[in-house]
Amino acid sequence: MASDVQEAAGGLRITRSDTSGVTLLRLQGELDLASAPELSAAVQQAFARAPQPVVLDMAAVGFIDSTGVRTLLEAQHVAGRDLVLMAPSAAVTRVLDLTRLRGRFMEIDADVDLATLRR
């Protein structure tokens, strides 16, 4: 399992690991105007490396603004069905619920076997 850590602007930490035919990006911190470009780049790199599903573990995202939401929508547009939100935090679900966008993303619990997401 390959793994690397990226410290994005604004205090967002992105940890990438490839396992079970899935790329997992663990996000910790704030997804906002300062950090959204780094997440966008990380998602694009993940899809460029291999045509496999990308899972965004959002359990440790403490804040998300409209730029973060836009980044998720853009990533989903690029990814199609292959972008999954894992265990979105209360901060994330609150914003997605308020914007009525929550149903647009596939969500899974943290205990789901990622191998079931492979193509």
Tell me which of 8-12, 29-33, 36-40, 92-96 is least confident.
8-12
Q: State residue 25's pLDDT score.
A: 95
Fold of 2-81+91-110: Transcription Regulator spoIIAA (3.30.750)
Q: Where are the domains of the chain?
A: 2-81+91-110
Q: Is the pLDDT of residue 81 over 90?
A: no
User: Residue 6: pLDDT band by 50, 70, 90 thresholds?
Assistant: low
Residue 5 has a pLDDT of 65
Q: What local confidence, expressed as pLDDT, does residue 102 receive?
A: 92
1 pLDDT above the threshold of 60: no
Taking residue 29's Cβ as centre, other Cβ atoms within 10 Å add up to 17
Tokens of 113: 């076997």
Cβ-in-10-Å burial (0-12, 13-18, 19+) of 78 comes to middle
pLDDT (mean) for 46-59: 88
Kindly report the pTM of this predicted structure. 0.89
Collapse the DSSP code of 22 into the 3-class scheme (helix H, G, I; strand E, B; otherwise coil) and give the result.
strand
pLDDT for 119 beyond 80:
no
Reported confidence tier of residue 7, pLDDT bands at 50, 70, 90: low
Residue 32 is encoded by which pair of tokens?
Answer: 């906002």
